[in-house]
Amino acid sequence: MTFGALISVMNPLGTVPIFVGLTQDETKKERNRIVFNTSLNVFIILLISFFIGKYILIFFGITLNALKIAGGLIIASSGFALLQGEFTKHKGMKKEKVKNDVNSRSDISLTPLAIPMIAGPGTISLLITYNQEFKGITNIVIILSSILLASIVIYLVLKSSFLIVKKLGASGINALSRIIGFIVISIGIEFIISAIISILKL
């Protein structure tokens, strides 16, 4: 469940067209380096979100229910963006802006690929909530395993991105993203419902 939620919210398929567009002039060796660094950056960001996120909540005095509602809204809005085929625009990644921004930096593996394209606010909110809700060694091991597996999947998807675009095309990727959008919306709504039920019980 944790792995499925992570992959759905991160939606690595949505990053494939951007990755292809940004790296089409690079050598295969350079693309492989960017893929590895991107997946590593995502892994580190997810770990930081999971282990340190709760202290941010404490510092700002944010309750778990408030985070779940805010996170649920962000996740659900990402899902609606997927359904409408505007995922990259929702992430603030207009193609012209990305290309112009890339020219001014040496590496794209951290931004825009790792964050905000893959590990965005919705993913971070999800992991902070998991940290607060699921206690115990077994649950922590499951979540950490899901983070590792999700990072590996991101690596494999990005590494195969040129093949994916060739086989599926833009329309195929868009269709899959729309299906994932339904799942993402459901995850976001589940977060909000859970928070409301918890508030009503107080």
Q: What's the mean pLDDT in 86-96?
A: 55
The backbone region for 119, taken as left when phi is positive above 0, alpha when psi lies in -120 to 50, beta otherwise, is beta
Report how far apart, in Å, the C-alpha atoms of 94 and of each of 49, 87, 100, 184 are: 26, 10, 10, 22
Is residue 155 within 8 A of residue 132, CB to CB? The reply is: no
pLDDT at 9 over 80: yes
The chain-wide mean pLDDT, for the chain, equals: 85
Which of these ranges, 31-35, 80-84, 87-91, 148-152, has the smallest mean pLDDT? 87-91
| Terminal-to-terminal C-alpha distance of the chain | 27
Query: Is residue 39 very low, low, confident or very high in pLDDT (cuts 50, 70, 90)?
Result: very high
pLDDT band, residue 100 (cuts 50/70/90) = low
Residues 113-167 have pLDDT tens digits of: 898 889 988 899 899 999 888 888 999 999 999 999 999 999 999 999 999 888 8
CA 6 to chain centre: 7
Q: Is the pLDDT of residue 105 over 50?
A: no
Which stretch, 94-108, 138-152, 167-181, has highest mean pLDDT? 138-152
pLDDT value of position 1: 76
Residue 86 pLDDT: 65
CA dihedral (191, 195, 201, 202) in degrees, to 10, reads 160
Neighbours of 94 (CB within 10 A): 12
* Residues 108 and 18 sit within 8 Å (Cβ to Cβ): no
The answer to whether 6 and 124 are in contact (CB under 8 A) is: no
Task: Check residue 96 and give its pLDDT.
Answer: 52
State yes or no: pLDDT of 6 exceeds 90. yes
Question: Which pLDDT value is given to residue 102?
Answer: 47
Span 49-78, pLDDT tens digits: 999 988 888 888 888 889 889 888 988 888
Q: Which amino acid is at 2?
A: T
Q: 88 pLDDT exceeds 60?
A: no
Measured CA to CA, the distance from residue 4 to residue 68 in angstroms comes to 18
